[in-house]
Each structure stands twice: as C-alpha cells, then as structure tokens.
Amino acid sequence: MTNGVIFQYIPGTGLAAPGQFFEVNSGGQYQPATRIVLQGHATAAGSLALDTPTPVASQNDADAFAGPGSMLREMFRLAAANAPAQPIWIEAVADPGTPPAQWTLTVATLPAPGQGVIEICGRQIAIAVSTTDTTATVAASLGAAINAFYDTLTNAMLPLTATVATNVVTLLARHAGAIMNDVDIYNSTAPSNVLGATGVLTVAQPVLGTGTPTLSSALAALGDDPADFVVSPFSDAINLAAATIAFNDTSGRWAWSRQSYGHYWSVSTSAFSALTTLGLGLNDRHQLLIGRFPGSVTPSWEWVAGRAALESTWLSDVTTGNVSRNQTGRIVQGVRGPRSRSGLWNYSARNTLLNSGISTSTIDTSGNVMIDKTVTCYRVGTSGQPDTVFRDIQAIYQAAGGIQYIRAMLAVEQGQKAFAASNPGNLAAISTPSDIKGTFVHAYTDLVNRGVFQDADTFTRNLIVQANASNPARCDVLAPIERVNPLDILAVNATFYQAYPPGF
C-alpha cells in the first residue's frame, strides 16, 4: 500500500496564494443494509400503484397503501412481527381477474344459548347466542362480526368479507386467484362452541378461486435497486421462470454487469410426494421454496412473509457471524401449521425434501411453525453432477454480503486510481497489483473475523492478482473463498462402560 498523499479536491499544482486548506472526505466506514420487498395483492381501498416498490414504516402505512385486510397488508404485518427493525417495502401485483373464491356458512338449526366461535385463518370470531335468536339473527350476528373483525393485539384482519341473506352468510375473498383457496375456515366441535353442535352450522365452498397473477412486471420494476429478500407466495411454473430470469447470473441481478443480487423467496403447499417432484424439477440457486403443510391454519402469503423476515434478521448480519448460523428451531411468530399432526414430516421426509431443494419446517406442540432448514433450489452443477456449494441459504447471503464488503473496501482504497505494474515514486494516485492484493487480503481477513469466511492464510496463498494480458487498464483477480458453514449436524458416539478398563 502506498503511503503518499492524494487529494480529491485540492489541486496538486498551480497554487501560489498562501493559505491553510483542508478538504474533508469520508474514510469509508462500511455498514451493510438489506431490504425486504413483499409482492402480493392490494385492494382498491389502497393507494399503491401496481408494480411500484414502496417503503412502509408502520401498519397504518400498510393499510393506507395496500388496503385494510389485503394480502399485502397482512404480509407486512407478519414480516414486521418477525423482523421489527428490518426495512420493508411492498409491491402490489394485479390479481388474475377471475371470480373470487366464495364460502357459505349456513345456520341450519338454532344453536343453544351461549358463545359461538369460528376460526378464519386462525383468527377467532366470537358471537353471543341468546334464547330469543333465530337462525337468521345468528347468521346476521356472524356476518357482522366477520366484517368488524380486527385483532387489536396482533393487528390481524381477515382476507374476506361477509354478506347475509336470511340464515346464510356468504364470504367473498378480497382477491381473485387460486391462492385464496388457502383460506382456512374452521368450526370447532368443542362443547364450549354452540356453533359446533351437530347440524347447527354448515361450511361449504361453492366457488373455488382460479388463476394466478404474473410477476414479470413487478420483478422488472425492481431494476437494480436494493431487493435482498424478494418475498412472494406465487410459486407456479410461470412465475418461478420469471424469477429465474430476474435473478440469473448472465443478465439478471446476479450478473457481473449489475451486481444487485437478491433472492426470490416463495412457498408451495402440497403433499410430500408432490413437493419432492416439484423440487427435483428445479435447479436455481437464486430462489427457494418453503414447503407448506396442507391444511395449515395460516395462509401461504403470511407463512412465507413471516419466515423470510425472521431469517433475514440473521442472514443480513455479516458483522457478527449471524449470517452463517444454523437457524433450526426458531419460531415464526404468528404462523401456525395444520391442526392435525398426522401429516407432519418425519426426519426421513425432511431429509428427502431438503435433498430435493425444498425448505422444511417443523411444528411444536402448540402448533407454532419452526424453521427446520432453508435451502435454495440448486442441486446440480453444469455437468449434472451433485453440487452442494450453494445449497444452504447461508451461502447466498454470505456471497452477497461478503462481495459487497470487499467491493466497498476496494472502492475506498483503490478507487479513482491509476494502474501500474510498480510504483517506485510511492505516489498515492497509483495502484499496483500488490496494492490491490493487499486490499483483498485485508477485506477477507475482516470477513474471517466477522464469521463470514474462513482460513485467511490459505486464501492469501492462493489469491492471484495480475494485470490483464491485453487490456493494460484492467486487473484480473482469482479469489478462492471458503465460507463458514452452519452447524447443522452433531454426530456423537456415546459408548458406555460398566466400568472403565484399567489404564483407560
């Protein structure tokens, strides 16, 4: 590294008038920052224009931009609950324009007096039934309670609205599309719920949601702006292909000419065999699919928003080693799995899913969703051979965060310089391959100390920095990087003795 003096503003020659001149520059203190971008549906009550990423600071902002009760509003609520300090942006996408899903709640017979409760997406809607009620008044009370629902503790709202005709409550999804079929409506048969008595309330879905939106415009609108966690519940083949185009290494966000990075987080709800088949048909290190259990209480858009936000709190941290940590067992706040435990995945199923490129979860005894392991959809290399280098999601954010740190150090120490093979005059305006190598070693060592990469000695021995053979203004670098790995598996041979042998 040269020890000469370089000025950004004070001229090097031509000054004759006396004076003491100070220019003030930044020393280049680096602080990483990441951004979540949530993609989903808004309602007409929101002011957000389609395909326009917009920062959101509060639940009130989310209501105003996306509309009360909208998918995008609820995605923000779950993301903020799991990552309260993370910058969150929202982006509205057009729904497919098909007829919205509908459900009916038919009060067939008059329930006994008491409290009636139904659950919609895990939110409990309660009404009081009196001796003077009729089936029509019970239906009216139920419809009014659904439309008025707002959980003041969690800020949760419902993804549907209600209308009432005599003894039938008709529920209409706030958005069109097949994804709204994820809405869970549950009438408990517990004795304390008068609506759960036999023959009292019938739940049906006469109209299924159909169609999926197209994310191409929303992904294109990201441009090269920060979008480290692009979170969307849409995982159909067309939208996964669009995400592949948006993030690819040739011309997408990970291309050398763009270097804007980011990752597409989505979710798929299917049985074990279908998820395995889906994962084996994909091979993209810039997207991931979280497997969601069929029958889950929490809908897919809330599931993926909460999980991605929770993981972002560690994956964004390239300062204290959190980016490299195993995240198994972390509870996703506000997200619940299925009521029945019969379909939960055992170890063998989770192992198969992970090796198929599907991220997995477990469910605790209270029904909370916990992270098991998160992997990308990348499984094989260019020749079709198994390749685990970019399987772990940690690897993606170590790569992005580590490269951004190295680039920042290069900009501070080697930016706006001349390039020469040597610098005998020790001029601060000139960089040499040796200078650039020194910056790489310094930055890599910092990242080792930050728990992102490891083995600085081997890196330094194998680092190659040289002038390009045909372009004298270009420096070529081979940087062999070894990342820190999450502690996923601890294997122990516990060997027991009745008594230790002599001399043991």
Whether the pLDDT of residue 20 is over 90: the answer is no
Return the number of other C-beta atoms located less than 10 Å from residue 343's C-beta: 14
The proportion of the chain whose per-residue pLDDT surpasses 70, expressed as a percent, equals 99
pLDDT digits (tens, 9 = 90+) for 159-218: 999 999 999 999 999 999 999 999 999 999 999 999 999 999 999 999 999 999 999 999
Tokens of 438: 């020194």
pLDDT attached to residue 349: 98
What is the rounded average pLDDT of the residues 423-427?
94
pLDDT digits (tens, 9 = 90+) for 79-125: 999 999 999 999 999 999 999 999 999 999 999 999 999 999 999 99
Half-sphere exposure of 188 (CA within 13 A, CB side): 18
Helix axes 71-82, 300-315, angle to 10 degrees: 30
What is the rounded average pLDDT of the residues 382-398?
96
pLDDT attached to residue 6: 85
Half-sphere exposure of 69 (CA within 13 A, CB side): 23
pLDDT digits (tens, 9 = 90+) for 125-156: 999 999 999 999 999 999 999 999 999 999 99
pLDDT attached to residue 3: 63
What's the pLDDT band for 32 if we cut at 50, 70, 90?
confident
One-letter amino acid identity for 98? T
Would you give the distance in Å from CA 363 to the centre of its chain? 19
Three-class secondary structure assignment of 395-464: HHHHHHHHHHHHHHHHHHHHCCCEECCCCCCCCCCEECHHHHHHHHHHHHHHHHHCCCECCHHHHHHHCE
**Reported pTM:** 0.94
Helix axes 71-82, 59-66, angle to 10 degrees: 160
CA R_g for the chain: 28
List domains and CATH numbers for the chain: 36-94+219-394 (no CATH), 102-207 (2.60.40)
CB 433 within 8 A of CB 467: yes
What is the rounded average pLDDT of the residues 268-287?
97
Whether the pLDDT of residue 2 is over 80: the answer is no
pLDDT attached to residue 248: 97
